[in-house]
A and B are shown apart, each in its own frame.
Chain A
Amino acid sequence: MKEQKLHDYLQEGLYKPIRRKRFLRFTALAGGSFMLGLSACRKEGQPGSGNFDVGSADIGILNFAYALEQIEAAFYTKVNASYYKNAPLSEKQVLFDIMHHEVAHRDLFKKALGSNAIGDLQFDFSMVDFTSRDSVLNTSKALEDTGVAAYNGAGPFLQSADYLKIAGKIVSVEARHAAAIRDLLNPRSADFAGDDIVDPTTGLDFGRTPNSTAGGQSIVAIANSFLLTKISASQLP
C-alpha cells in the first residue's frame, strides 16, 4: 500500500504539476516573448532548433552547470514517471529525492542566470532503457560522477566567491547522490567511493574542466551524448 501511495504521489502530486505549473509560470514570465513561449511548448524529443555555447568566465561556468542540471532533472523526471521493473520502494525513494534536488538546482540556475541563461535543452535519452534497473542506475551513476567531476573541475576557475559558494553547496549533494546510487548498485561495498572514482593514493575525487579529455570523453561530450540541442563551452578550459 505504501508503495502504491508513493506511486500515486509521483503521478498525481508531483510529476504532472511540475510540468503544468512550470509551463504556466514559464509562459507568464515570458509574457509576449514568442521565442520563450515557443520553447516552452516544444515537445520533448523533438529535435532542437539550435545549439548553445555556454559563454565565458563565471557566467559560462554557471551556464555549463545549468546545462548539466537540466540533463539530470530531465533524466530523473523520466525515471520517476515510470520506474524500472520491480523497483523496490527504497530505490524509488532515492530516485524520487534526487529528482527533486536536480529540479531545484536547475530552477535556481535558471533564475539566477536570468537573461544570461542558455535556453531549454532538448534531450536524447535513447541509449537508456528506462525499464531496466541496470540501465537506469548505471546512467544515474555516470551522471552523478560526471556532475561531481564537473563542479570540482570548474570550481577553481570561478572568480566570484558567491558563485563558488553555490557550486560548493551543490557539488556535495551530487556526491551524496553518487554514493547512494553506487550503494544501490553494489550494496555495502567500497564502491560508494570506489577506487575507480576516488584516487586511492591521494584520496581525491575527480575534477575535470569542461573540455578536458584527460581520462576519456570530455564532460561537454558526455553531456552532448544526452542532448539533441548540443552545447559547447568554447570559451572555457
Chain B
Amino acid sequence: MKALKIFEEAYEKEVIEKNFTRREALTKGLGLGLKTALAAVPLGLLDALGNKAQAAPSNPDIIKILNYALTLEYLEDTFYKTGLSTSGLIAAGDMKIFMQISKHETAHVALLQTTITALGGTPVAEPTFDFTAGGMFPDVFTNYQRFMGLSAAFEDLGVRAYKGQAVNLVGAKDVLSVALRVHSVEARHASEVRRLRSSKGWINFAEADGLPGFIYDGEENVVQLGIDVTTITTVNRGAVTQAFDEPLSMPPVLQIAGPFIK
C-alpha cells in the first residue's frame, strides 16, 4: 500500500480532478471499462507530462519519477523470481532467457534504490503483488503461455513507462542517463519475449497479440515531430508504426499496473 501512496498524488492532481477516481482506475485497470475510463480523461491530459518539461526538474519531482520506476521494477522483479522458482513453469530451453531478464530486474531495483537514496529521497517499499490481477489470470504461474504473455506485457509497458518519463528528466543528465540505459534494456527484453511468443520483436500498429489491447493504445501513431512520416518516406504505414515506440504517461501506466498491486 505504501508504494501506491506515491501514485495517489499524481492521481489526485491529474485524474481525480477530472471525475475519474483512483479506485475506478485500479479496479477497471484490466477490465472492459478502461477504454471508457480513459476516454473520460481529456486527451491533452495524457500528454501533459510530456509537454511541460522545459525547465530542469526539481529533486522531489525526480524522486517521484524514480519511485514510480522502482515500483514497476519491483513488479517485474517479483514476477520473474516467482516464475523462475515455480518448477515446471518455464520451458527448460528458455531458462537462460528468463534468468537473464530476472537478473537485470533485480539489478534495476537495487540501482533505483541507490539512486533515490543518493538524491536524498526514500525508496518506496515493495508492495504486495497479485499477478492473477484479482483472479483475472489464475493460471499465471501454471500456464507458460500466460506467463510469457504477461512478461511481454510488462516489458512493453516498461518501455512505454520509461519513455514517458524521459521528457520529464530533461536537464537532469545523470538521472536521465540511467533512465535511458534501463529503458533500452527493457526494450531488449521485450523484443526477446515477443519473439518467444512468435510475435515480431517490434510493435506493429497497436496490435496486442492476444494481450490486453490498451497496453498498446497509441502505438499506431505515425506523426513524429509534427510530421506525418507516411508522407515523407516510401516505407509502408505498418513499418512506420513499428519504427517508433510510443511513450505512455503515468496515469495510463498505473491504470494498467494497478490490478497487479494489492
Q: Which of A94, A97, A175 contacts B239 (CB 8 A)?
A: A97
Kindly count the residue-residue contacts between A and B in the assembled complex, taking CB atoms under 8 Å apart: 212
A189 touches B (CB below 8 Å): yes
B53 touches A (CB below 8 Å): yes
Residues of B within 8 A of A157 (CB): 173
Q: Which of A21, A155, A164 contacts B234 (CB 8 A)?
A: A21
Residues of A within 8 A of B202 (CB): 97, 101, 173, 176-177
Residues of B within 8 A of A89 (CB): none
A173-B96 CB under 8 A given contacts A180-B195, A183-B195, A198-B185: no
Residues of B within 8 A of A112 (CB): 224-225, 227
Whether B184 pairs with A17 at a CB distance below 8 angstroms is no
A175-B111 CB under 8 A given contacts A97-B200, A169-B224, A190-B99: no
- 26 CB < 8 A contacts A-B: A21-B234, A97-B200, A97-B242, A107-B235, A108-B227, A152-B177, A155-B180, A156-B176, A161-B50, A164-B166, A166-B225, A168-B180, A168-B245, A169-B247, A172-B159, A175-B184, A176-B191, A178-B191, A180-B191, A183-B195, A190-B99, A193-B100, A203-B106, A203-B182, A205-B188, A206-B181
Give the distance in Å from the alpha carbon of A46 to the alpha carbon of B167 in the complex: 41
Interface size, chain A (Cβ < 8 Å):
63
Whether B191 pairs with A192 at a CB distance below 8 angstroms is yes
B229 touches A (CB below 8 Å): yes
Most chain B CB atoms below 10 A, which of A166, A177, A198: A198
**Cβ distance A141 to chain B, nearest Cβ, rounded Å:** 12
B85 touches A (CB below 8 Å): no
Q: Which of B97, B108, B200, B233 contacts A104 (CB 8 A)?
A: B233
| Given A189-B96, A192-B192, A203-B108, 15 more pairs with CB closer than 8 A | A14-B234, A97-B202, A100-B236, A100-B239, A104-B240, A108-B232, A148-B184, A156-B177, A161-B54, A178-B188, A179-B189, A180-B195, A192-B100, A193-B104, A206-B181
Q: What is the interface residue range for chain B against chain A?
A: 35 or more
A156-B188 CB under 8 A given contacts A172-B163, A203-B103: no
**Cβ distance B224 to chain A, nearest Cβ, rounded Å:** 6
Using CB atoms and an 8 Å cutoff, list the residues of chain B in contact with chain A.
50-51, 53-54, 93-94, 96-97, 99-101, 103-108, 111, 159, 163, 166-167, 170-171, 173-174, 176-178, 180-192, 195, 200-202, 224-225, 227, 229, 232-236, 239-240, 242-247
Give the distance in Å from the alpha carbon of A168 to the alpha carbon of B173 in the complex: 14
A4 touches B (CB below 8 Å): no
Most chain B CB atoms below 10 A, which of A102, A177, A194: A177
Across the A-B interface, the 7 shortest Cβ-Cβ residue pairs: A203-B107, A100-B239, A175-B187, A172-B187, A176-B191, A190-B100, A107-B233
A22 touches B (CB below 8 Å): yes
Binary contact readout A4-35 vs B (1 if CB under 8 angstroms, 0 otherwise): 00000000001001100110000000000000
Most chain A CB atoms below 10 A, which of B176, B177, B190, B224: B224
Give the distance in Å from the alpha carbon of A78 to the alpha carbon of B192 in the complex: 25
A175-B176 CB under 8 A given contacts A112-B225, A168-B247, A190-B97: no
A201 touches B (CB below 8 Å): yes
Residues of A within 8 A of B111 (CB): 202-204
Whether A156 pairs with B180 at a CB distance below 8 angstroms is yes
Q: Which of B96, B159, B183, B224 contacts A190 (CB 8 A)?
A: B96
Whether B234 pairs with A103 at a CB distance below 8 angstroms is yes
The chain A residue sitting closest to B54, CB to CB, is A161
Whether B50 pairs with A171 at a CB distance below 8 angstroms is no
Whether B232 pairs with A107 at a CB distance below 8 angstroms is yes
Whether B159 pairs with A165 at a CB distance below 8 angstroms is no
Whether A176 pairs with B100 at a CB distance below 8 angstroms is no
Q: Which of B93, B174, B181, B245 contacts A205 (CB 8 A)?
A: B181
